[in-house]
Amino acid sequence: MTTVINNELKQRWQVLCAEQPKLRIRNAADILDVSEADLLATQLGESVTRLAGDFKKLLTEVESLGTVMALTRNEAMVHEKTGQYKDLSIHGNMGLALGVIDLRLFFSRFVFAFYVEESMDQGVRRSLQFFNAQGEAVHKIFAKEGTDLQQMAELVSRYRASDQSAPVIDHNDVAAEDLLAFPEQLDIAALRQGWSELKDVHHFQALLKKHQLARVPAYQRIGEDYALPLQPQAFEKALDSAAANQQSIMVFVGSDGVVQIHTGVINKLLRTGPWYNILDPGFNLHANTDLIDQLWLVRKPTTDGIITSLEAFDKQGKQLVLLFGERQNGQPEDQGWRALLQQLSAQYTLHREA
């Protein structure tokens, strides 16, 4: 089939790139009021190839590429992890990778995919990019030094779509879930009882669903013994303290279709404008701290004792990032992580008006 290109959009993007050569595609899409996938589709037949087929199977074959960089992001957090996809397992519409690249994948959100070649100062940057129905990126995989480019070319050939025309992207506004709403009838006593009886942090979402609550409203009602509001700048201070104390942490960042996790000690921290960055070999986090509207220190009971997290949200109540201390199932929470958070709570507790 002949490739069909939106030439008007292509030209608008070219003009914008000429005016702002360092502008990233996500920001260009926002300016042009389109999706990232719309912009990539203007390059089909040139630097972009549309992919199709079983994306679950495709992801299991990424292991053959060797070392790559996995990127998952939301509006405020960009999580980049370098390593090899290992032993990706599929469970219905979910995927699970537990290696250096640690992922939870929700394949119902993997609707479109492209292979992209970008000309950079240091050469050509190659990537596999996956998008939801609205053309929003859910996950990207970049070739790095050590990537088997021959295997990548063969993978792209196997999954190359016979139809290289632009995909039909759903441009209708999706009704956003109100993540700050409370149900008309909220039984606080029942919520606290269910919370106190938690046995595993993975049961927490079911508790919220039972009470028809998103995280922020639950934290606002449960009481400060379980959820303590902190000043947003405590997020940066938590990273500072973790690096200074060589405290191993877990950093969770989610897109619409993927949760990506880093576990380990962090070292190099750098502020660049609104972005606070972790710049370590194998792991980068770029955090736009201006977009953190609420920060909560959350305690959840488990059979291993209380497990404590630091959770950041934007103004709409969307979760941006979660921090935990490194821990194995069956082990209690690390005392160094708990002490770090106790110090933060002593300095940065947000005292709300009654």
- CATH code of the domain occupying 7-87+110-159: 3.40.1570.10
Query: Residues 92-125, buried b or exposed e (16+ Cβ, 10 A)?
Result: eeebebeebbbbbbbbebbbbbbbbbeeeeeeee
Evaluate whether 12 touches 32 at the Cβ level (below 8 Å): yes
Q: What is the pLDDT of residue 1?
A: 34
Collect the ranges in the chain with pLDDT lower than 70: 1-5, 174-175, 352-354
> Where are the chain's structural domains?
7-87+110-159, 188-348
* HEC secondary structure over the chain: CCCCCCHHHHHHHHHHHHHCCCCCHHHHHHHHCCCHHHHHHCCECCCEEEECCCHHHHHHHHHHHEEEEEEEECCCEEEEEEECCCCCEEECCEEEEECCCEEEEEHHHCCEEEEEEEEECCEEEEEEEEECCCCCEEEEEEEEEEECHHHHHHHHHHHECCCCCCCCCCCCCCCCCCCCCCCCCCCHHHHHHHHHCCCCHHHHHHHHHHCCCCHHHHHHHHCCCCEEEECCCHHHHHHHHHHHHCCCEEEEEECCCEEEEEEECCCCEEEECCEEEEEECCEEEEEEHHHCCEEEEEEECCCCCCEEEEEEECCCCCEEEEEEECCCCCCCCCHHHHHHHHHHHHHHECCCCC
Q: What is the pLDDT of residue 119?
A: 85
Same fold, 7-87+110-159 and 188-348: yes
Model's pTM, two decimal places? 0.95
Q: What is the pLDDT of residue 121?
A: 77
Pick the CATH number of 188-348 from 3.90.1720.10, 3.30.200.210, 3.40.190.10, 3.40.1570.10: 3.40.1570.10
Which token pair is 142?
């970049």
Q: What is the pLDDT of residue 330?
A: 86
Q: Which residue has the tokens 């490739």?
A: 3
Q: What is the pLDDT of residue 6?
A: 82
236 in the Ramachandran plot: left (φ > 0), alpha (ψ -120 to 50) or beta?
alpha
Q: What is the pLDDT of residue 45?
A: 92
Q: What is the pLDDT of residue 2?
A: 38
